[in-house]
Structure 1
Amino acid sequence: MRAIGQDSLGGPDVLRIVEVPRPVPGPAEVLVRVCAAGVNPTDWWHRATGGLAGDVPIRLGWDVSGVVEAIGPGVTLFAPGDEVFGMPRQPAPAGTYAEYVVSPARHLAAKPPTLSHVEAAALPLAALTAWQALVDTAGLRPGQRVLIHAAAGGVGHLAVQIAKERGAHVIGTARTANHAFVRGLGADEVIDYTRTDFTAAARNVDVVIDTIGGDYGPRSLQTLRPGGIVVSLASPAEAHLADRARALGLRSTFMITEADRAGMREIASLAASHRLRVRVDTVLPLDQAATAHEIGERGRTAGKIVLTVCG
């Protein structure tokens, strides 16, 4: 089968089409014929650094939407021909930039028939990240105030919708050009972070979702009310930030998204009922994975980038 591989760490140019054996599903696994694969910031971080995947060669990609081709022993959830989507094995390597991928059956969910494979492939990692940050980690409750950084981005635009669905008052940061888009998702307030200091504009916040890193975590502490929490998705919270938060009666934590069938089913339900809409910014064929990474690393994408694989 064809797949995207890399034999060295580096820029997008290290990505290339390779021919590799088609995988065989083992016990409790399914073989999925990939129709589309989502592209995420973690992909180019792994491409450049090795990340959690370790040394080269590396096979990138976690988001997948496709059709079950075969099942391994003991699988009862799916049968060949079923349309599925999910985020296999995260945070371990999955290799969804390929014509076929093997996944634990319980890392997948039935694809809503209302979604195309491109739309479905754009959802898993970003939507699960937003869900696990807001619901599982922060314990978001109705009426709370949420500040979402990069609210027009892949995770951000889904987090806005999930927070509104949970009854929160949502404040997003985004460039002015994306304000109409973010408000259309349900955000109550939008701050242009290039013109306004968000620490002055957003006050008495209960939950901050930091998708950016750098000084955004420390600065976001200034926006919280007592007992509030910063959930960092970009980099591990440094010990001094957690200590500083505790000294102020606040919380700060770093979260890694995990494969999660229960969360996938929640995402599928929201998407099927049109309460969660994914914006796909760019669609490219598998052999243009390097171009997809170049576009993503510019940091100007509103929504998600997706690679198409099957016809």
Structure 2
Amino acid sequence: MTQITDNKAAWLPFEKAPALEVGPGPTPNPGENEVVIKVAYAAVNPTDWIMQDQPYAHPQYPFIIGVDVSGTVAQLGSAATRFEIGQRVIGHCDSLLTLKATNAGFQHYTTCREILVTEVPNSVPLANAAVLPLAIDTASTGLFKHLKLPFPSVDPKPTGKTILIWGGSSSVGSTAIQLALAAGLTVATTAGAHNKAYVKEIGATHIFDHKDPNVVQEISKILKTGDVVFDAIAVEGSQKACATILHNIGGGKLPVVLWPVPIEYDDVESVFGMLQTLLISVVTFAYTQDAVNGLDPGLVDLDIGDAVWRKFLPQALAAGKFQAKPDPEVLEGGLEKVQEGIDILRKGVSAKKIVIEIAKHD
């Protein structure tokens, strides 16, 4: 295996540094179950500006952030036999678990776990594909771990259930809508008036304006006992609205993408469904608060990663049954544009995802 010696990266030089610095990157050396990706595009996520402004992991600085990448396979570990050199892929970088800069996204070459990499068909532009990895894992954790939905399929069997996904035009919401459909559920969602057509396009059947003062009552009317709720926004207002809706239909678990707020219903259990994704970016592990505080995470179940990344995504992307949504807003200019992308996202975006063109790609 030829050693890669020309890596470059956008480094976070010290804790709460106001700007990233571009310089030589670490030399990749894949383990047996790892894939080295030559990065074409990297998406920006809230984890990135949070890590810059108020880090929740404790890496040694300088450090590299970034979790979503698309590109081509550059090197393979001995057991990563699903892939070929040069193959188009997306990968979910888990540097917030390993605390190794080699596993981060904002560099020319990154190293990912094989189970968090999947092939991308030629029909899907790599810039679009880069929006997917973190959103896939975040949504999958809530849907398949906590809500125990059937694993997704390109030919799902109807379950007779409806899911409310609060915030369907967000990155996680867009992915959750499609995964829930692939699990055989009917989807209800909330969106602003300007995003109603968008969430309908990706599969939502019932669409509600989250600004409607009667939205909780209106949503409750179309749900029944046994239906489920997922909060892809998880601000205080959305969590309380989702909790009330879930209480109205008999209670249950409420996965939320940020820390749960106190709720007034004994029959509703808010769960930080994205613990393993928001903090450490791996869907195949489950973590307790102790793990976040520095203890070793325990391997709980590889079934979700296998079902989603190895089995469903390759088929669904190739068949056009899973879309890379929301659309990317691409910033050209390489690693020097990463900080600009983080700053844009920090201010807020709607129904799109900021993606950096890391390197020119055929």
Would you say same fold, with TM above 0.5? yes
Question: What whole-Å deviation, never above 9, does each CA across 1:208-264 have from its counterpart, x for those lacking one?
Answer: 2212223222331110111433111122x35x54xx55x22x332112232444222
Q: 2:322 aligns with which of 272, 276, 280?
A: 276
- C-alpha offsets along residues 116-145 of structure 1, whole Å, 9 cap, x if unaligned? 211222111112222232233212362222
Residue type of the alignment partner of 1:36: Y
For residues 132 and 211 of structure 2, the distance between their equivalents in structure 1, rounded to whole angstroms, comes to 28
Contact conserved, 1:281 with 1:302, CA < 8 A, in 2? no
Counterparts of 1:184-223 in structure 2, within 5 Å, are 184-203=201-220, 204=223, 206-215=227-236, 216-223=238-245
Structure 1 residues 133-144: aligned runs within 5 Å: 133-140=142-149, 142-144=159-161
Match of 1:116 in 2: 125
Question: Does residue 171 of structure 2 align to residue 171 of structure 1?
Answer: no
In structure 1, C-alpha distance between the alignment counterparts of 2:182 and 2:116, rounded to whole Å: 24
Q: CA deviation at 1:292?
A: 1.3
CA distance in 2, matches of 1:304, 1:137: 26
Q: State the distance in 2 between where 1:53 and 1:117 align.
A: 31
* Structure 2 Cα separation of the partners of residues 167 and 20 of structure 1: 44
Supply the AA of the counterpart residue of 1:279. P
What residue is the counterpart of 1:294 in the other structure? 343
Q: Give the CA deviation at 1:197.
A: 4.5
The AA in structure 2 aligned to 1:114 is S
Kept in 2, the 8 Å contact 1:34–1:309? The answer is yes
Residue number in structure 1 paired with 2:56: 51
Partners of 2:358 and 2:198 lie apart in 1 by 29
Distance 2:313 2:44 in 1: 18
Q: CA deviation digits over 1:161-220, x for unaligned, max 9?
A: 222333323222221111111122221222222343432221136322212223222331
**Aligned with residue 309 of structure 2, among 232, 241, 264:** 264
The AA in structure 1 aligned to 2:107 is: A
Query: Partner letter of residue 8 of structure 1?
Result: F
8 A contact 1:37–1:97 mirrored in 2? yes
Aligned equivalent of 2:9: 3
Counterpart residue type for residue 231 of structure 1: P
In structure 1, the partner of 2:301 is none
RMSD value over aligned CA atoms? 2.4
Q: Could you tell me which residue of structure 1 aligns to residue 4 of structure 2? A: none
2: CA distance, partners of 1:297 / 1:253: 25
Q: Distance in 2 between matches of 1:213 and 1:56?
A: 31
Cα pair 2:140 2:283 within 8 Å, conserved: no
Amino acid in structure 2 at the alignment position of 1:52: A
Report SS of the residue matched to 1:80: coil
Change in 2 beyond 3 A, CA 1:91/1:275: farther
Is the 8 Å Cα contact of residues 145 and 169 (structure 1) preserved in structure 2? yes
Partner Cα separation in structure 1 for residue 182 and residue 331 of structure 2: 31
User: How big is the shift at 1:110?
Assistant: 2.2
CA distance in 2 between counterparts of 1:53 and 1:183 reads: 41
Distance (whole Å) between structure 2 residues aligned to residue 72 and residue 274 of structure 1:
30
- Kindly indicate whether residue 245 of structure 2 is the aligned counterpart of residue 228 of structure 1: no
- CA distance in 1 between partners of 2:149 and 2:26 (Å): 44
C-alpha separation between the residues in 2 aligned to 1:10 and 1:191?
39
Write the distance in 2 (CA, Å) between the matches of 1:22 and 1:90. 15
Q: 2:38 aligned to 18, 33, 38, which one? A: 33
Change (3 A) 1:146 1:53: farther
Q: What are the within-5 Å matches in structure 2 for residues 84-103 of structure 1?
A: 84-89=89-94, 91-92=96-97, 93=99, 94-103=103-112
1:6 Cα deviation (Å)? 1.3
- CA contact under 8 A between 1:82 and 1:110: conserved in structure 2? yes
- Give ranges in structure 1 of 5+ residues lacking alignment: none
Name 2:269's counterpart in structure 1. Answer: 251
Deviation at 1:25, TM superposition (A): 2.0
